[in-house]
Amino acid sequence: MKLIRFGEKNDERPGVIDSNGKIRDLSSYFQDYDKAFFLSDGLEKIKRLNYKSAPVIDEPVRIAPPIANVGKFICVGLNYADHAAESGMDVPDEPVLFMKATSSIVGPNDAVVLPPDSEKSDWEVELGVIIGKEAKYVSEEDAMDYVAGFCLINDLSERTYQLEKGGQWCKGKGCDTFAPMGPFMATADEVKEPNNLHIWLEVNGEIKQNGNTNTMVFTVPFLVHYISQFMSLQPGDVISTGTPPGVGLGMTPPQYLKEGDEMRLGIEGLGEQVQKVERYKK
């Protein structure tokens, strides 16, 4: 299944994409796709639901992030060896983890708004993992039992904030609008090989990133297992699994986003995003 949320900000509704690619409105069955949805066995309820009779959304609508009220947004740094190299950093012996502010989450086609003084904002296409039930000290072998599904994420980064202002990476990762998610969550049964998906991003029509999740240093099952040793993963939590090479930081000379740019990105089986770049006006 492909679960989708749609509607204007603060008025989003849950839906599903049917076999004809149409959005079906499920708001009469479910309040939203959030922690409570997963805890109440919502995925199984949708599977049993004859949603072919649910209303079709024919008019153009804003596509929202596929999950509401994300509890934790956990990111994995340097998880592609070639991206670590272009960043001038060593491939880590263990996953590098950091948090991204949940207030950075926006819809897949919402505008990306650069901070007023941003000079080094960068793109990062990533595979997102959505947790479906509490995972605490789980084994790598059992890890996929805790995954509800997958989605596309653009993990934007302000490199000055991230790398030149001391402390942890969260300063450069948590800016408002720096985490477009969606357009939908594909349930785990639809993504047979999460570690073998084409992943790409272009800026102004020029391909910048063009890779495959099979070059990840640490696989999805290992990451779920690993992170669960340090914190419990709750339903609706999101793990962003790292980016392939081709970010602006790694180019010679470096290239960064500017007002008026357009990003387009996608992952095999998980749809596409398009974002216009704006600058915050004080």
pLDDT score of 86 more than 90: no
CA proximity to 105, closest of 83, 122, 128:
128
pLDDT score of 85 more than 80: no
Q: How many residues make up the chain in this entry?
A: 282
Strands (DSSP E) along the chain, which ranges?
Answer: 2-6, 13-17, 23-25, 56-57, 63-64, 73-77, 96-99, 105-106, 112-114, 121-122, 125-131, 147-154, 157-158, 179-180, 185-187, 198-203, 206-212, 238-240, 262-267, 272-279
240-279 pLDDT, tens digit each? 999 999 999 999 999 999 999 999 999 999 999 999 999 9
Of 77-86, 132-141, 166-175, give the lowest mean pLDDT range.
77-86
State the pLDDT at residue 84.
75
State the pLDDT at residue 2.
98
* Joined tokens for residue 211: 């890779």
Integer Cα distance of 66 and 132 in angstroms = 13
Question: Quick one: DSSP state of residue 250?
Answer: G
- The CA-atom distances, in angstroms, between 33 and each of 28, 46, 130, 145, 269 are 13, 11, 11, 19, 20
Residue 33, Cα to own-chain centre: how many angstroms? 15
Name the burial class of residue 98, with classes exposed (0-12), middle (13-18) and buried (19+) by CB atoms within 10 angstroms of its CB. Answer: middle
3-state percent breakdown (helix, strand, coil) of the chain, nearest 5: 20, 30, 50
**Mean pLDDT, all residues of the chain:** 95
Which amino acid would we find at residue 275?
Answer: Q
* Joined tokens for residue 243: 């980016």
201-222 pLDDT, tens digit each? 999 999 999 999 999 999 999 9
Of 6-15, 63-72, 83-92, 249-258, give the lowest mean pLDDT range.
83-92
State the pLDDT at residue 212.
95
Integer Cα distance of 94 and 216 in angstroms = 12
Query: 197: helix, coil or strand?
Result: coil
State the pLDDT at residue 72.
98
23-69 pLDDT, tens digit each? 999 999 999 999 999 999 999 999 999 888 899 999 999 999 999 99
State the pLDDT at residue 92.
85
State the pLDDT at residue 81.
81
pLDDT score of 83 more than 80: no
List the domains of the chain with CATH numbers: 2-64 (3.10.330), 73-279 (3.90.850.10)
